Structure 1
Amino acid sequence: MEKFIKVRLLSWGRVLGWLVLIAGSLLLAGNYVIMPLYVNSRDIVKVPDVMGKSIDSVRSDFEVLGLVPVVSVGPFDPKANPNTVYFQNPLAGTEVKYGRNIYLTVTAAEPKKVQVPAMRDKSEREAIILLEKNRLRKGGIIYQISDQVPENIVIGQSVPAGREVNEGTLITLTVSRGSVKAFIDMPDLTTLSLTEAQKILVKNGLTLGTVINQFNEELLPGTVIDQFPKKGEKAAVGRSVDLWITTRNKNEDSRNGSQRD
């Protein structure tokens, strides 16, 4: 009887050992296989498309999805609804981890006030860069001859420096064209030969531009019959002048697609 009891105890011990081994295996599988799969499935979120949506509704959607909106305010746009998203990163459809920051830019509710920079005595290019840097826009350029200010230097602006205006305001610049001495009245080059016209151009500080052939049987070949700029117009010293000259060869007529430089 005692021997029988020992055998039964030994059998139950083996069964219990197997049960412990199986339970341990299941526990390990749960910790290292099943749980990671479950957690990872919850950790991955697909970023929704929030372009054009109000930031309030986006915050609500992100809270449900477990995403964190990081919002910055962009410039005011009179054509867009205020506080609506016009930029997002990552883009819609991107798979990200739960709790990931999503960077959003929204339109401002009203235009910000900015100070107009001082652009007088700066080059035209520098002034335009200053406008863009201060979120202002170039309204136009007025060129004006000046004996005191060098060419391409700003001599005036439509809004005084230091004044507060809405961002995006148009600012017109007045830019020097240099001294009147830098301009000449265009001489009349018509009826001259091309060689004679070139000599007059050089004498006046001008250069020959495009030479355009035009068929004409009445005048000698190479006679100037038109010019640009025209006679009497103001032309900057150093600019090029285009000439139309006669030819008796119809194949050389620029109106047939032929042109000579």
Structure 2
Amino acid sequence: MGFFKFIFSKVFLKQLLLALLVLVLLVFGLLYWLRASTNHDQRIAVPDLSKMSLGLVQQELENADLNYVVIDSSNYNPDFPTFSVIEQNPAAGKFVKEGRKIYLVLNPSGYRKIEIPELVGRTQRQVEPTLLALGFKIGKIDYRDHISSDEVLELRHDGQTLNVGDALRKTSVIDLVVGNGKGSYRTSGDAAQDVINDAEDLDDAGF
């Protein structure tokens, strides 16, 4: 009976209420600390960094208490300024916590260079789709006397003959020199020798 009498005594009830009050205060204090340390209620809208230089990006993100990391350079896009932001993650308008890193992709200084493959000797119908698939543009077509019609004899850029392995920027214009099928297998040296032989034959005949 003495135990039950103690449980319902004023002293025990006061101690119990005091213990519950301390427990509640501890729980609320812990929750408040967790929210403050993890920025639970703080959300920052990611600004639109598209087409900004890194200098402007740094200023914009510092004002928003955010950081950035440049992860890559994309394929050149002429619609964006050189070295400006072409992609960002998280995207503009997304809500993030303070100090979050924004990952950026920048626009390079120009189109990447592509090596010229072995194309001389192939037909024009083979060469043109290959050059277009590599990202080049087809310029003017010059025809030259040659036994083979439609055969590509030279590739040129800005008047200079291109060789295998030469590198040009994507979208460069390449001119073609193509055979017209009107030539012969005889070289200019052979023709010259024939003239000499004909002259000797005439001399021997007394002309």
TM-score higher than 0.5: yes
Answering whether residue 159 of structure 2 is matched by residue 128 of structure 1, we say no
State whether residues 154 and 173 of structure 1, in contact with CA within 8 Å, keep that contact through their aligned partners in structure 2: no
Answering whether residue 68 of structure 2 is matched by residue 65 of structure 1, we say no
Identify which of 172, 176, 180 aligns with 1:170.
Answer: 172
Q: Unpaired segments of 5 or more residues in structure 2?
A: 1-5, 183-207
> Counterpart of 1:91?
91
Q: Unpaired segments of 5 or more residues in structure 1?
A: 1-6, 181-261
The change in CA–CA distance for 1:141 and 1:97 in structure 2 (over 3 A counts) is: farther
| TM-score, length-scaled by structure 2 | 0.56
The change in CA–CA distance for 1:89 and 1:139 in structure 2 (over 3 A counts) is: farther
Distance 1:34 1:140 in 2: 69
Query: Aligned-pair distance for 1:18?
Result: 1.0
CA offsets 1:41-81 (integer angstroms, 9 cap, x no match): 23x33110112221123134335533433342345678864
CA offsets 1:98-132 (integer angstroms, 9 cap, x no match): 55543323233x447735412513532122212x2
CA offsets 1:182-229 (integer angstroms, 9 cap, x no match): xxxxxxxxxxxxxxxxxxxxxxxxxxxxxxxxxxxxxxxxxxxxxxxx
Distance 2:84 2:177 in 1: 39
Q: C-alpha root-mean-square deviation of aligned residues, in Å?
A: 4.0
Distance 1:128 1:101 in 2: 39
Q: Identical aligned pairs, as a percentage?
A: 22
State whether residues 90 and 103 of structure 2, in contact with CA within 8 Å, keep that contact through their aligned partners in structure 1: yes
State whether residues 81 and 107 of structure 2, in contact with CA within 8 Å, keep that contact through their aligned partners in structure 1: yes
Tell me which amino acid in the other structure corresponds to 1:14. L
Distance 1:178 1:95 in 2: 65
| TM-score, length-scaled by structure 1 | 0.47
Alignment of 1:218-237 (within 5 A): none
- Aligned to 1:172, the other structure's residue is in SS state strand
> Counterpart of 2:53?
54
The change in CA–CA distance for 1:20 and 1:92 in structure 2 (over 3 A counts) is: same
Tell me which amino acid in the other structure corresponds to 1:11. K
- Higher normalized contact order (CA 8 Å, seq sep 6+, divided by chain length): 2
> Counterpart of 2:41?
41
State whether residues 155 and 176 of structure 1, in contact with CA within 8 Å, keep that contact through their aligned partners in structure 2: yes
Tell me which amino acid in the other structure corresponds to 1:128. L
- Aligned to 1:88, the other structure's residue is in SS state strand
Distance 2:34 2:104 in 1: 33
State whether residues 86 and 106 of structure 1, in contact with CA within 8 Å, keep that contact through their aligned partners in structure 2: yes
The change in CA–CA distance for 1:178 and 1:36 in structure 2 (over 3 A counts) is: farther
Alignment of 1:195-234 (within 5 A): none
> Counterpart of 2:156?
158
